[in-house]
Amino acid sequence: MSKVDELRERDNGRFIVTDPVGRFLDKVHVEPNTGCWLWDAHCLPSGYGVFNFGGRVSRAHRVSHELFTGPIPRETQVLHRCDVRCCVNPEHLWLGDNASNVADKVAKGRQAVGESVGSKLTNADVVAIRNSGESAIALGERYGVDRNTIYAVRKRKTWKYVPEAFTALLDLAGTP
């Protein structure tokens, strides 16, 4: 599809040229305290806004990056500095891969599952358990948990989000 065609929409059999930037900004209002551009149109259950752009339904924050900053390289995620998923302010977005996304969540201390108040195991314990050749019974005694807890950790039924390179990511998260 050519660039010109991308800017057109079919209307009663005729093509009309629409301006994607104007159409996009129509769906935005600025939050005065944070500067977030909040998406007033349709949002996914995950919280991300959606926008029909170039004949495709795309996540609004990704479209914002393309419209105002530049193309998004393949395999690249558009992440929020402000943590507001329905925010489409291009200045609140940055490009990263999945590893930097996880590291960012760790650094902000808002990983949703796993290590939490009341949890007997820590992220570091989970990495150690998965790398250990010891029996589940021995590990259960050492960490003060049931051996079924150890099995679940090893089979990734729990603590799924802790990646193999978690300690490396923690190091990454510590550097600006």
Q: Which residues bind Zn ion (CB under 5 A)?
A: 36, 82, 84, 87, 89, 92
Three-state SS across 26-69?
CCEEECCCCCCEEECCCECCCCCEEEEECCEEEEHHHHHHHHHC
- β-strand partners of 80: 93
Q: 38 or 72, CB closer to Zn ion?
A: 38
Residue with tokens 């998923």: 85
Contacts of 63 (CB under 8 A, 6+ apart): 20, 24, 51, 53, 88
Q: How far is the CB of 137 from Zn ion (least distance, A)?
A: 49
State the minimum distance, in angstroms, from the CB of residue 161 to Zn ion: 24
Amino acid identity of 98? N
Taking the complex as a whole, the smallest distance from the CB of residue 63 to Zn ion amounts, in Å, to: 15
The SS3 assignment for 139 reads: helix
Nearest CB to Zn ion, comparing residues 36 and 78: 36
For Zn ion, which is the closer residue by CB, 68 or 161? 68
DSSP 111: -
**Complex with Zn ion: residue 96 or 114, whichever CB lies closer:** 96
Q: How far is the CB of 103 from Zn ion (least distance, A)?
A: 20
